[in-house]
Each structure stands twice: as C-alpha cells, then as structure tokens.
Amino acid sequence: MRQIGVLALQGDVDEHLAALTRAGVRGVAVKTQRQLDAVDALIIPGGESTTVMKLLRRFSLEQPIKDRVTSGMPIWGTCMGLIVIARDVADLDQPCLGLLDVTVRRNAFGRQNESATVDLPIAALGEPVFPAVFIRAPWIERIGPGVELLAERNGHGVMVRQGSVLGTSFHPELTQDDRVHRYFLHLLEKPGS
C-alpha cells in the first residue's frame, strides 16, 4: 500500500493523517530522513512557516526533501506548507524550499479574526463547490510559466499545480471533504497530466 508522509515538525498533522485514512491510503508522520525515504509522497501541513523553516534545517530535512521532489516525489503544501514550498515569499526573512515557481504573500487574507470558510469553485474537482477554510492564509501573487492556476479567491491564486507539486492557501484537512486529498493522490499515478 502507498504510504503518504505528513511532515510532523509542527502544525495540523493529525487532521491530514485522518483525511488520508478516509481517502483509503496509509498516512505516516515524517520527522526524520529515514521516515522520508519510506514514503511515496509528502504533505506539508498548516502551521507557522518561520518556525518550520528553522526546524527543517535543524532536523537536516531541507536538502533531502528537495532531492526527493526533484527526482519526482509528489509534494503538497497547505497554507504554511504552500509558503514553505514556494520559490519566493513576500514578508519572510529566510529562504524557502523553492519547489513551486510562485510568489506568495503571507497572511494576505487577513489576521486570525478574518479567517473564514468560503465556497470555492474548483473546476478540477467538479461539483459541488469546495468548503475552503482560510486561516491567516497566504495568497499567490505571481505564477511561473509552468504553473497551472486551479482556483482563485477575490482575484488571487489560492490553488496551483506544477507537475506533481501542489499548493493550496486553504486547509482541506480541516473539512470532511477529501476531494483535494484524492486529487493529490492521483498525482502519484500520472504526475504529468
């Protein structure tokens, strides 16, 4: 059975593991390179990007993740995870992983008290609209030539894909709707499509 890793340095790890179980695959927490080596794909959850970038370096996981993704491992970042995988981040004083050719702006949809669940049309998922949870969410303000825009909110990109690299500003793991998890899992079968 496929094993899908969830980076477990900080953030909403358990919610992703539960969503993976509902989607019919085995989710495993990843804290070490040995655990990373054993998974077929990796999810970086929501959390705090400044903290996680520091922890990735402290746990010597930054380069191993880059190497796995460069050799084809699918990766998906949700909210903080989107920031961590981006090439450029406005308002962040340290480099991120640079795996997704976008520029994101942290906290762009407002502070905690402006967090919201929004009915988001996502053509790739079909009907009905997706209940997208935004919590101090980033938006995507530049999209590189190889990046496909999958959803927008108020004219700003909130879901993109570049080959088998997926990014969402929102938190599908905080709903009972597993369609984005299933969409990510299909990237394991046909990354180029």
Site track for ligand GLN across 49-78, x = CB under 6 A: x-----------------------------
Q: Which positions are annotated as active-site residues?
A: 79, 171, 173
In eight-state DSSP terms, residue 90 is: E
As a whole number of angstroms, the distance between CA 164 and CA 192 comes to 7
Q: Quick check: 47 binds ligand GLN (CB under 6 A)?
A: yes
Using CB under 6 A as the binding rule, whether residue 79 contacts ligand GLN is answered as: yes
From 87, 106, 161, 181, residue interacting with ligand GLN (rule: CB under 6 A): 106
From the CB of 15, what's the least distance to ligand GLN, in Å? 11
Q: Which is nearer to ligand GLN, 78 or 162 (CB)?
A: 78
CB closer to ligand GLN, 40 vs 62: 62
Q: Which is nearer to ligand GLN, 24 or 110 (CB)?
A: 110
Q: Which of residues 116-175 bind ligand GLN (CB under 6 A)?
A: 135-136
CB atoms < 10 A from the CB of 127, how many?
Answer: 8
Strand-strand pairing, 165-168 and 156-162: antiparallel
Binding part of the chain for ligand GLN, among 19-27, 47-55, 145-153, 157-165 by CB under 6 A, reads 47-55
3-state helix, strand, coil in the chain (%, to 5): 30, 30, 35
Q: Tell whether residue 20 is a contact of ligand GLN (CB under 6 A).
A: no
Cα–Cα dist 86/41, whole Å:
17
Those residues whose C-beta lies under 8 Å from the C-beta of residue 151, and which sit 6 or more positions away, are 120, 121, 122, 130, 132, 157, 158, 159, 168
Question: 41, 61, 80, 122: which one contacts ligand GLN (CB under 6 A)?
Answer: 80
Half-sphere exposure of residue 70: CA atoms within 13 angstroms, side-chain side: 8
- 76 φ, ψ (degrees, to nearest 5): -135, 125
Binding interface with ligand GLN (CB under 6 A): 46-49, 79-80, 83, 106-107, 135-136
